[in-house]
Amino acid sequence: MPMNESLPVPRQLLDFVDGYHSFLVVGHKEPDGDCLGSQLALGSLLERCGKKVLLANPGPFDRQETAAWEQRFISSLDENGAAGLEAVIVVDCSSADRIGEIAGPISGLPLAVIDHHTSGERFGDIHYILPEIPATTMLIHALFRALELEPTPEEAQLLFFGLATDTGFFRFLSPGQHLAYTVAAELTRAGASPREADRLISTGRSLESRLLLARLLQRVEQLRDGEFLLTFQTLADEREFGKRRDSDALYRLLLAVEGVRVIAVVKEKENGCAVSFRALDDTDVGQLATRFGGGGHRKAAGAFQGEKLHLFLPRLRSALLELG
């Protein structure tokens, strides 16, 4: 779809919003700014439309910039909790497994998905999915416009925060994605502060998070003469330095290395390993992530595997070396 000056919203989604009184708004595991900004702004929009709203996210809220909002969300839902809900909207999520155990109690409820990911197994009844759009918050902004509501300054800040997160403050945009700047201008006019978004994303980090970055940089493996970089964080690292890893800073440092095409960062967890991929060239890391049960975009994706670190790393190395 060409990037016009506005995004169309499917009539089915507008009817979905109009047709129910109470909504559960769900986001993906380990939420980032685009996920939380989308959930919080959409929840506020629905409340302004006279709807009852419950926000749910399985967490954890390990990112420094998202931790302050953790108390706004429930992390789990039983069948009794779902009993009073009429419908569900899932945002920024490419497959049902990315919402964790919340998927069980909401099974059977009318469900709409608002997302911009290219991979993953499609689920739900109504789909507003535009892979060429760089942030889900842009789709939420389009919904504001379709409902003829101007974002409040607080809503505009949340939407700008999400847009800035997923575009790397516009560094990751491709030719033709100029609509992101139009949306940014409209949000700024509505009261969003780019300075505040940058403060949330870039500052307030602990010294321990900087020392953890150093540890992970020291651990980097170069594959195929440096085209692929791989590093990992262990449970012991987390115990030593805490949970607040500055992932975005790590990605920027690794992607700045001369000759690099793709980076992979693994985080050991109690029940397995999470891996994040980033690409500088045309390598589709979203497709790479599907090999490990995950998904995402061409240039940014992730996955989780329920196996030990020492077993997962060799498989990951092999997969990277098989890339063209």
Are 19 and 151 in the same domain? yes
Are 240 and 108 in the same domain? no
Are 312 and 233 in the same domain? yes
Question: 215 lies in which domain range?
Answer: 207-321
pLDDT single digits (tens) 197-239: 999 998 888 999 999 999 999 999 999 999 999 999 999 999 9
Are 160 and 40 in the same domain? yes
Pairing of strands 22-26, 87-91: parallel
| CATH number for position 43 | 3.90.1640.10
Instruction: Write down which residue in 172, 201, 230 finishes a domain.
Output: 201
Are 106 and 155 in the same domain? yes
Are 197 and 218 in the same domain? no
Whether the CA torsion 203, 209, 215, 216 is positive or negative: it is negative
In a domain, 41, yes or no: yes
Are 72 and 174 in the same domain? yes
Are 197 and 222 in the same domain? no
Domains in the chain, number: 2
Give the separation between CA 100 and CA 1, rounded to whole angstroms.
31
Place of tokens 């995950």: 294
Are 149 and 232 in the same domain? no
Indicate whether this model's pTM tops 0.85.
yes
Are 211 and 170 in the same domain? no
Residue 39, classified by CB atoms within 10 Å of its CB into exposed (0-12), middle (13-18) or buried (19+), is buried
Phi and psi at 102, nearest 5°, equal -60, -25
Give the separation between CA 176 and CA 186, rounded to whole angstroms.
18
| Distances in whole angstroms, Cα of residue 321 to Cα of each of 37, 212, 225, 279, 315 | 36, 27, 11, 14, 10
Structure tokens at 119: 């991979």
In a domain, 219, yes or no: yes
**Per-residue pLDDT tens listing for the chain (324 residues):** 344 467 999 999 999 999 999 999 999 998 999 999 999 999 999 999 999 999 999 999 988 899 999 999 999 987 666 778 999 999 999 789 889 999 999 999 999 999 998 777 789 999 999 999 999 999 999 999 999 999 999 999 999 999 999 999 998 898 999 999 999 999 999 999 999 999 999 888 899 999 999 999 999 999 999 999 999 999 999 999 998 778 889 999 999 999 999 999 999 999 999 999 999 999 999 899 999 988 888 888 899 999 999 999 999 999 999 997
Are 243 and 308 in the same domain? yes
3-state helix, strand, coil in the chain (%, to 5): 40, 20, 40
| CATH number for position 292 | 3.10.310.30
In a domain, 3, yes or no: no
Are 115 and 229 in the same domain? no
